């Protein structure tokens, strides 16, 4: 009976592994490697991936408030994006808005670990709504960061953050610091991801203001 019980427990792990391997075989036929990895306008999504060994040259440790569970790796961003985020956090603080950095840069290996653990926990379909497959994550570029409030820093990120005073402030002010809400509500069919009010992406002030004013996403901005 103990042996049968162990086999039953292993079934979800085997299924998850099979789905991941099958996804790798499919993606190799459909996904294009980006050629401008170092550009602040690099487009990384389900159709455009960065190389497994890509690491931004100028990663720097952020000087902001972090969530308790964040890893040392996730405290870094590309220098330009990092300085802009620090200014964003500082301005938010002056307006009584307390923000927390949950996750910034992620290597291919860390993203792979996060993705696989999530698949085992909630299944591939639910995982793909919010978690990028390794190589397809903006976090690997060092230009994206997940930001939340105190409550969110102690729990999982949820879309309700968009209705909090911190979430509303971020949506209305991120563009002034060169950031955009990368996966806004109503654009899921274009971005390929569910609404994520916590995920912001650095694109530079000029670009972020245009994207916000036109109510478009990065895919639309680049294809204009």
Q: Using an 8 Å Cβ cutoff, are 183 and 193 in contact?
A: yes
Q: What is the pLDDT of residues 204-215, one digit of tens each?
A: 999 999 999 999
* Domain around 10: 1-30
Residues 118 and 203 in one domain: yes
What is the pTM assigned to this prediction? 0.85
Phi, psi of 193 (to 5 degrees): -130, 155
Q: Which of 145-173 are b and which e, b meaning 16 or more Cβ less than 10 Å from the residue's Cβ?
A: bbbbbeebbeeebeeebbebebbebbbee
Phi, psi of 99 (to 5 degrees): -105, 155
Q: Using an 8 Å Cβ cutoff, are 42 and 36 in contact?
A: yes
CA atoms within 13 A on the CB side of 44: 29
User: What pLDDT was estimated at residue 157?
Assistant: 85
Residues 169 and 196 in one domain: yes
Query: Which CATH number fits the domain that encloses residue 77?
Result: 3.30.1380.10
Residues 218 and 118 in one domain: yes
Q: What is the pLDDT of residues 37-82, one digit of tens each?
A: 789 999 999 999 999 999 999 999 999 999 999 999 999 999 999 9
């Amino acid at each position: 009976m103990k042996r049968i019980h162990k086999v039953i427990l292993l079934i979800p792990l085997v299924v998850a592994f099979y789905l991941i391997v099958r996804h790798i075989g499919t993606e190799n036929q459909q996904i294009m490697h980006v050629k401008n990895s170092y550009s602040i306008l690099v487009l990384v999504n389900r159709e455009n991936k960065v190389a497994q060994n890509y690491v931004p040259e100028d990663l720097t440790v952020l000087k902001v408030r972090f969530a308790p569970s964040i890893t040392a790796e996730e405290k870094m961003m590309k220098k330009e994006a990092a300085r802009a985020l620090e200014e964003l956090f500082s301005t938010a603080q002056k307006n009584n808005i307390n923000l927390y950095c949950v996750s910034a840069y992620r290597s291919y290996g860390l993203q792979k670990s996060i993705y696989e653990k999530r698949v085992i926990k909630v299944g591939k379909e639910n995982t793909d709504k919010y978690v990028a497959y390794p190589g397809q994550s903006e976090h690997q570029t060092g230009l994206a960061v997940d930001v939340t409030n105190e409550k969110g820093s102690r729990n999982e990120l949820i879309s309700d953050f968009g209705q909090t005073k911190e979430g509303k402030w971020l949506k209305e002010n991120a563009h002034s610091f060169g950031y955009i809400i990368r996966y806004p509500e109503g654009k899921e069919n274009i971005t390929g991801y569910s609404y994520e009010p916590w995920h912001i992406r650095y694109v530079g002030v000029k670009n972020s203001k245009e994207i916000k004013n036109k109510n478009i996403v990065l895919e639309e901005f680049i294809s204009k």
